[in-house]
């Protein structure tokens, strides 16, 4: 190999390296610049992105927010909780997009996380859900540990001091053992709760969901969202959304390609915003989604989006 | 050499068949169910011509290779015999001796099995089929241990941060089937411990049927009278107690071609071979080939006063040497069906009022069962479907299908529900009592019908949101409709219910569920209509 070719190869390799790692590199550089901040202290209260692919929208959103380093510190154990509730393929919009989950895993690891675990307490057979949602494979390839949640022994009892109805419940150890956790719901219509977004996604961290359904579902969803160990970040996947027959869905007719993503530490705010987004396709008054107002009453977050610093980006 | 091959083949097959039953993690591909399809009774019930012909030809050529290697219950008995050998103090202790066949018993059991099938007492067919007996032993006794072992490994590995194993729920599926499995295990084990393969030659109808064929098989173990020294080692090593060395005969109807005799004979006095010219094709105990006077004398000297030749004479009764009968529909099973049909016609009215005790009145047959007659007639209760169901929602019945259908599988939604896309039970069923379904067929197969008792429903009683039932419904046969204020309440459309039990499993109402699945005497096909896909353009945030 002559010198010219060698240099050419070296330059190309270098360029390829930057291209491949640019997303993570942005985050890393910002991590170094940003002063250590408490969780939730992003540049904005919420970032909403539209028009991109799942991973690209997340990269954009987290960069706008101030970088993953705000939420995940070096050496921390991170838990990511997508919605993997159903034995459905990604295009049926019943589960969180696997590409998004994988990107979040990569970003957490790039921010220095010592371990990233992924789980969900599924409704269908967990092995089929994990496999057919594409999430197990994508998350593992990105470097996460995917752990089961189908046995009561994985859960530990936790008190919910602010809970009105739900005073105590069993929560998955992956959440309890993590230093920080990230909630990654998919935007769906829900027959009982009306909408299934970030607060409803918390039903997948508890063992006894029957209690919720039996004792005022909307209040219990608000109560579980008031737990002390709240998600540092909520990433609402609205790349595809389920407009009807949720949360399971029957056919492609229930799915809308909406190419959006919302990011916030405030579950009430992000669920309010996502419901408004959903409302454009199918009427869904905020007052119908009972857990929103109840969660606001518990002081979990705010439904008053006009008071918030929201960054809207279209890519 | 032949014996060593036999041992290796049998060990491999027994391991694979057992593992296939135990393997909940799908380590073995589901295609291995072919091993179960090779079993004789399932092949006959499934009218699997190729396998039946193959097994008949195999037996006519080489004897009861099936009993020796293919039958898991047979190989299990060899394991027990081997265990006993290891526990024996003296290596050359006398183990077996020639015994006359117990013809009344063995043909009796065969008649009982055929009669039970005709009479609709399918429970007896299942009890007597060796493969099904083995299946039940594995599912009810070994599988819980296997799962417990898995859970132990899970604890160990997980404590080191390794997530190769995952924990599985261990459930007591059925007390009656557990007892049956225990009794079978005890009976077979004790008989094998004491008398080797006596179960196969006395109780097992499959052994008896194949014995009728192997009597005429081409290759048999035959004496070589010039080499035999009448030492009796072959008889002492014959698990089937079918070698009468004094007369140099092997009762080939009872010989399971284990080749232990050949290995034990130091003089090459026995060979697995074709009949020689002038030699009797069919060997009969007590009818000796031409034996030299010297040997006859030696034989008489060796004969104990108890075992006289007359006692050893075999009455080879002329029993019909036919295959088990072809499949038919039997009216007797209809008696049980009649009760079920009467119950079906009992109208279920929806009256709102006090909470109501709701219970299934008919069992739900697993996917692919078709109708009650067909299903109960073909199922031998091997419980392979019970073992292979990933959700563990199939469990053995007790008297739900009537006495004749005892132990046959039914759906149970206490711990899980039937996965909409899963067809494993119907694929593995070796008798086709559960006919194989494609995913598409399964989506349209109605195995039960949803029943809704609104007076038990949380939305009705507490006026709070729920929707758990509708959430789990794959076809939205249960869907939520507007109720008071912004509440929604379930509504059912029985015409599109598949009976998966998702709603029943998840319904949080206590003590009585508001929704459950009622069984059917015949599965139905449902029509599913889907909404048109509409184009939605979302180009704004909406907030």
Model confidence pLDDT, tens digit, residues B522-540: 999 999 998 888 888 898 9
Q: Does residue A225 sit within a domain?
A: yes
Instruction: Tell me what the mean pLDDT of segment A172-200 comes to.
Output: 96
Q: Does residue A15 sit within a domain?
A: no
B163 contacts in chain A (CB < 8 Å): 145-147
Q: Is A73 on the interface with B (CB under 8 A)?
A: no
Instruction: Tell me what the mean pLDDT of segment A258-278 comes to.
Output: 97
Question: From the CB of residue B275, how many other CB atoms can be counted at a distance below 10 Å?
Answer: 14
Q: Is B466 on the interface with A (CB under 8 A)?
A: yes
Query: Residue A5: pLDDT above 80?
Result: no
Kindly give the pairing relationship between strand B445-452 and strand B515-525. Answer: antiparallel
Q: Does residue A49 sit within a domain?
A: yes
Total count of residues recorded for chain B: 543
**CATH, residue A107:** 3.40.50.11440
Question: Where does residue A17 rank: exposed (0-12), middle (13-18), buried (19+ CB within 10 A)?
Answer: exposed
Q: Is B160 on the interface with A (CB under 8 A)?
A: no
Q: What is the domain range of residue A216?
A: 34-314
| Chain segment A38-82, per-residue pLDDT in tens | 445 689 999 999 999 999 999 999 999 999 999 999 999 999 999
Minimal-distance CA residue of chain A relative to B538: A258
Residue A38: CA count within 13 A, CB half-sphere: 0
Minimal-distance CA residue of chain A relative to B513: A214
Q: Does residue A13 sit within a domain?
A: no
Instruction: Tell me what the mean pLDDT of segment A112-128 comes to.
Output: 96
ipTM of the complex: 0.84
pLDDT of residue B85: 84
Indicate the SS3 state at residue B250.
strand
Residue B276: DSSP 8-state: P
Beta bridge partners of residue A261, listed in sequence order: A49, A237
A279 contacts in chain B (CB < 8 Å): 542
Query: Residue A19: pLDDT above 50?
Result: no
Residue among A124, A216, A252 whose CB faces B419 most closely: A124
Residue of A50, A190, A250 to mutate, testing the B interface (most B Cβ within 10 Å of its Cβ): A250
Q: Is A215 on the interface with B (CB under 8 A)?
A: yes
B416 contacts in chain A (CB < 8 Å): 125
Domain boundaries along the sequence of chain B: 1-217, 219-314, 447-543
Query: Residue A207: pLDDT above 80?
Result: yes
CATH T-level topology, domain B447-543: Alpha-Beta Plaits (3.30.70)
The minimum CA-CA distance between A26 and chain B, rounded to whole Å, is 26
CATH of domain B219-314: 3.30.70.20
B167 contacts in chain A (CB < 8 Å): 148, 150-151, 153-154
Distance CA B461, CA A187 (A): 30
Distance CA B473, CA B478 (A): 6
Q: Does residue A25 sit within a domain?
A: no
Backbone conformation region of residue A243, classed left if phi is above 0, alpha if psi is from -120 to 50, else beta: alpha
Q: Does residue A21 sit within a domain?
A: no
Helices (H), B260-325: 260-264, 293-302, 309-312
Indicate the SS3 state at residue B517.
strand
Q: Is B37 on the interface with A (CB under 8 A)?
A: no
pLDDT of residue B18: 96
Residue of B165, B460, B464, B496 to mutate, testing the A interface (most A Cβ within 10 Å of its Cβ): B464
Residue B527: DSSP 8-state: -
CA A156 from chain center: how many Å?
Answer: 22
| Chain segment B33-55, per-residue pLDDT in tens | 988 999 999 999 999 999 999 99
The total number of structural domains that make up chain A: 1
Q: Does residue A11 sit within a domain?
A: no
Residue of A153, A201, A242, A245 to mutate, testing the B interface (most B Cβ within 10 Å of its Cβ): A245
Binary contact (A217, B465; C-beta < 8 A): yes
Query: Residue A272: pLDDT above 90?
Result: yes
Residue of A140, A192, A276 to mutate, testing the B interface (most B Cβ within 10 Å of its Cβ): A192
Question: Any idea which residue has 């196969």 for tokens?
Answer: B200
Binary contact (B163, A247; C-beta < 8 A): no
Minimal-distance CA residue of chain A relative to B481: A191
Which residue ranges in chain B fall short of pLDDT 50? 290-294, 297, 303-352
Q: Which helix (H) or strand (E) holds A61?
A: helix A54-65
pLDDT of residue B320: 40
- Mean pLDDT score of chain A, rounded to an integer? 90
Distance CA B89, CA B389 (A): 45
Query: Residue A93: pLDDT above 70?
Result: yes
Give the E-state strand segments of B404-473 in sequence order.
Answer: 409-411, 445-452
pLDDT of residue B464: 94
In total, the C-beta contacts within 8 angstroms joining chain A to chain B are 141
pLDDT of residue A17: 44
pLDDT of residue B206: 96
Q: Does residue A23 sit within a domain?
A: no
């Amino acid at each position: 190999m002559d010198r010219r070719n060698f240099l050419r190869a070296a330059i190309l390799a270098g360029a390829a390296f930057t291209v491949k790692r640019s997303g993570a590199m942005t985050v890393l550089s910002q991590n170094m610049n940003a002063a250590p901040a408490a969780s939730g202290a992003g540049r904005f209260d919420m970032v909403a992105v539209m028009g991109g692919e799942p991973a690209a929208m997340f990269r954009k959103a987290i960069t706008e927010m101030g970088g993953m380093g705000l939420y995940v510190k070096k050496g921390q154990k991170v838990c990511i909780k997508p919605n993997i509730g159903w034995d459905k393929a990604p295009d049926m919009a019943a589960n969180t997009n696997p590409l998004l989950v994988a990107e979040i895993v990569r970003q957490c690891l790039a921010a220095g996380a010592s371990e990233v675990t992924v789980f969900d307490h599924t409704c269908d057979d967990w092995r089929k859900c994990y496999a057919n949602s594409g999430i197990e494979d994508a998350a593992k390839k990105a470097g996460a540990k995917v752990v089961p949640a189908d046995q009561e022994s994985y859960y530990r009892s936790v008190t919910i001091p602010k809970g009105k109805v739900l005073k105590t419940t069993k929560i998955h150890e992956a959440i309890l053992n993590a230093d920080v956790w990230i909630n990654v719901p998919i935007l769906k219509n829900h027959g009982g709760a009306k909408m299934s977004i970030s607060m409803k996604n918390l039903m997948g961290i508890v063992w006894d969901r029957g209690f919720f359904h039996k004792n005022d579902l909307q209040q219990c969803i608000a109560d579980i969202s008031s737990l002390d160990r709240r998600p540092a970040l909520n990433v609402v996947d609205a790349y595809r959304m389920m407009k009807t027959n949720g949360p399971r869905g029957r056919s492609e007719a229930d799915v809308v390609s909406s190419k959006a993503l919302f990011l916030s530490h405030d579950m009430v705010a992000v669920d309010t915003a996502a419901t408004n987004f959903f409302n454009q396709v199918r009427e869904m008054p905020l007052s119908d989604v009972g857990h929103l107002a109840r969660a606001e009453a518990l002081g979990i977050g705010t439904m008053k989006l006009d008071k918030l610093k929201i960054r809207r980006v279209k890519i | 050499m032949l014996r060593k091959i036999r041992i290796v083949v049998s060990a491999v097959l027994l391991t694979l068949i057992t593992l296939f039953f135990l393997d909940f993690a799908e380590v073995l591909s589901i295609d291995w169910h072919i091993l179960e399809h090779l079993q004789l009774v399932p092949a006959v019930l499934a009218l699997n011509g190729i396998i039946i012909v193959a097994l008949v030809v195999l037996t006519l050529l080489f004897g009861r290779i099936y009993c020796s290697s293919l039958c898991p219950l047979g190989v299990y008995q060899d394991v027990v015999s081997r265990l006993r050998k290891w526990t024996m103090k003296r290596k050359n202790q006398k183990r077996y001796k020639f015994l006359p066949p117990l013809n009344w018993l063995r043909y009796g059991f065969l008649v009982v099995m055929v009669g039970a099938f005709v009479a609709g007492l399918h429970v007896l067919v299942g009890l007597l089929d060796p493969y099904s007996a083995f299946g039940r032993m594995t599912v009810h006794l070994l599988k819980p241990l296997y799962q417990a072992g898995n859970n132990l490994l899970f604890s160990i590995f997980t404590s080191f941060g390794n997530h190769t194993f995952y924990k599985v729920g261990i459930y007591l599926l059925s007390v009656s089937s557990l007892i049956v499995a225990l009794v079978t295990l005890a009976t077979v084990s004790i008989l094998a411990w004491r008398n080797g393969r006596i179960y196969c030659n006395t109780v097992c109808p499959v052994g008896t049927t194949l014995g009728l064929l192997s009597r005429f098989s081409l290759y048999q173990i035959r004496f070589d009278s010039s080499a035999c020294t009448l030492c009796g080692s072959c008889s002492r090593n014959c698990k089937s107690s079918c070698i009468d060395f004094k007369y140099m005969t092997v009762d080939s109807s009872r010989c399971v071609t284990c080749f232990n005799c050949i290995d034990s004979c130091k003089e090459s006095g026995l060979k697995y071979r074709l009949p020689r010219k002038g030699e009797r094709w069919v060997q009969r105990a007590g009818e000796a080939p031409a034996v030299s006077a010297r040997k006859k004398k030696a034989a008489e000297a060796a004969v104990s006063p108890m075992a006289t030749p007359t006692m050893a004479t075999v009455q080879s009764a002329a029993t019909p040497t036919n295959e088990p009968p072809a499949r038919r529909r039997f009216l007797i099973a209809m008696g049980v069906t009649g009760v079920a049909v009467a119950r079906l016609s009992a109208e279920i009215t929806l009256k709102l009022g006090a909470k109501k005790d709701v219970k299934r009145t008919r069992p739900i047959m697993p996917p692919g069962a078709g109708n009650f007659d067909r299903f109960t007639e073909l199922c031998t209760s091997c419980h392979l479907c019970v073992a292979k169901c990933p959700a563990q929602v199939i469990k053995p019945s007790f008297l739900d299908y009537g006495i004749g259908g005892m132990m046959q599988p039914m759906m149970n939604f206490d711990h899980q529900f039937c996965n909409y896309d899963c067809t494993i039970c119907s694929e593995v069923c070796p008798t086709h009592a559960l006919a194989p379904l494609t995913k598409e067929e399964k989506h349209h197969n109605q195995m039960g019908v949803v029943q809704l008792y609104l007076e038990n429903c949380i939305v009705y009683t507490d006026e709070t949101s729920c929707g758990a039932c509708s959430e789990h419904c794959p076809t939205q046969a249960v869907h939520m409709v507007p109720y008071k204020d912004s509440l929604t309440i379930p509504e059912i459309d029985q015409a599109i219910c598949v009976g998966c039990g998702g709603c029943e499993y998840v319904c949080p109402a206590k003590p009585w569920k508001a929704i459950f699945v009622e069984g059917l005497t015949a599965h139905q096909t449902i029509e599913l209509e889907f909404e048109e896909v509409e184009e939605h353009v979302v180009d704004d945030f909406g907030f």
